[in-house]
Structure 1
Amino acid sequence: MTHVEIEPNILYFGTPVVLVSTVGVDGNPNLAPISSAFWLGWRGMIGVGASSQTVRNLRRTGECVLNLPSAHQADAVDRLARTTGTTPVPESKLRRGYRYEPDKFAVAGLTPVPSSSVAPPRVAECPVAMETVVEAIHPIAADDEDLCGNILCFEVRVRKVHVHPEIRLPGTTDRIDPDRWRPLIMSFQEFYGLGGKLRRSELAQIPEHLYRSPDVDRARRELDVRPAEPDGRTPSMTPTA
């Protein structure tokens, strides 16, 4: 098969959708869909437009929850499309038809539930929710004066992982069943799900515990030493860095 040369405007070859929940300066939660994310160990990288309310909240608080919707939440995610928590709406978003929306959870029809280690709420309907803190901010396209500052990548460290019981691998306490987990995928702006497993993977034969990150134990240590609130909940902690 011979390749042909093209110049696509976007390179979204298929990535999981993430609903990022943060807390605004008024104490109200914000919820933003993104599809630029990946994980290594208990670290994640998320790419977000610099003019978004999510970026403002992340810079100020250093906390967020990465909620992973399944294919069943496609309608809810789509209701958040072209909404922003920023007012006035940035010119670049106005051109794309965005509108200001102060209550993203209500618009999406999703339910906020309290997190255990950070202030932003989790999304009850999402099968996976990861409570995280920001460890570093990486600019994108620093070499180009026209692009620099438009997009930022946030390196986040996971502190707590919450999952719906039905996607946990039977007989285990710390593994996800890939046959039951069906993430919502965005490919060239369209929603897709996963099909069945194609074949046996050699990498899957490696025991998962051999990939365990030191950040797992770090999160345990941090949370174990913190005093509990009168209601028994652990207070959120905002990093100083």
Structure 2
Amino acid sequence: MHISSEPAILYFGTPVVLISTLNENGSANLAPMSSAFWLGWRCILGLAASSKTTQNMIRTGQCVLNLPSVQQAAAVNRLARTTGSNPVPEGKRQKGYRYEPAKSETAGLTPLPAATVAPPRVQECPVHMEAAVAAVHGVGEDEPLQKGKIVSIELRIQRVYIDDSIALHY
């Protein structure tokens, strides 16, 4: 069971974030990533500009950041070389990625409705953060080989859910 929470600061020690977004057809996309840091109730993500997750966040202005625990490691690994892009971009194809339209099912994870955004939360993750895109910036734009390839996305956290088992009860 998850409860709504308003912590004084968002400081989570997790190396992986599962990002839920919505595809153009309204289906959910779920992708692992590890380039995130927190500033108050803001999160900064570093992502490939061409990824389906990035495109979905920029198009809809919304996502859910789901923080898995060690119990979800196998589920995260099942998502590792999947993409929501069809056809699979050449660079990803060369790295062994495959198109997967049903990522939650592939990972064995359960979608839950969100309250403030359209993408779903992930039931099994102990922390969920519903977020709105506040800004998008190119990264490495001054380097010809990097220009247009990486973006930083600033998110404004709108609602946080934490599993009751990790909540501090005062």
TM-score w.r.t. the length of structure 1 is: 0.64
The equivalent residue for 1:87 is 86
> Is the aligned partner of 1:170 residue 2:154?
no
Q: Encode CA deviations 1:97-130: one digit per residue, 9 max, x unaligned.
A: 0000000000000000000000000000000000
1:47 to partner: Cα distance: 1.2
Counting only pairs closer than 5 Å after superposition, residues 116-127 of structure 1 correspond to structure 2 as 116-127=115-126
Counting only pairs closer than 5 Å after superposition, residues 56-135 of structure 1 correspond to structure 2 as 56-135=55-134
User: In 2 relative to 1, CA 59–77 (structure 1 residues): closer, same or farther, beyond 3 Å?
Assistant: same
User: In 2 relative to 1, CA 82–146 (structure 1 residues): closer, same or farther, beyond 3 Å?
Assistant: same
The equivalent residue for 1:232 is none
Q: Encode CA deviations 1:138-182: one digit per residue, 9 max, x unaligned.
A: 1110111111111111000000000100000122xxxxxxxxxxx
CA distance in 2, matches of 1:50, 1:98: 17
Please say if residues 89 and 98 of structure 1, whose CA atoms lie closer than 8 Å, have aligned partners that are also in contact: yes
The letter of the residue matching 1:16 is P
| 5+ long unaligned stretches in structure 2 | 1-12
Task: Give the share of equivalent positions with the same residue, in percent.
Answer: 57
CA distance in 2, matches of 1:42, 1:86: 30
Please say if residues 14 and 67 of structure 2, whose CA atoms lie closer than 8 Å, have aligned partners that are also in contact: no
User: In 2 relative to 1, CA 32–134 (structure 1 residues): closer, same or farther, beyond 3 Å?
Assistant: same
The structure with more strand, counted as a fraction of residues: 2
The equivalent residue for 1:21 is 20
Aligned residues: 158
| 5+ long unaligned stretches in structure 1 | 1-13, 172-241
The equivalent residue for 2:135 is 136
CA distance in 1, matches of 2:14, 2:139: 18
> Is the aligned partner of 1:156 residue 2:143?
no
Provide the alpha-carbon RMSD of the alignment. Answer: 1.1
Greater RCO structure (CA 8 Å; 6+ sep): 2
User: In 2 relative to 1, CA 32–127 (structure 1 residues): closer, same or farther, beyond 3 Å?
Assistant: same
1:15 to partner: Cα distance: 6.0
Please say if residues 43 and 158 of structure 1, whose CA atoms lie closer than 8 Å, have aligned partners that are also in contact: yes
Following TM superposition, the consecutive aligned residue runs of length 4 or more in structure 1 with deviations greater than 6 angstroms are none
CA distance in 2, matches of 1:65, 1:153: 16
The equivalent residue for 2:37 is 38
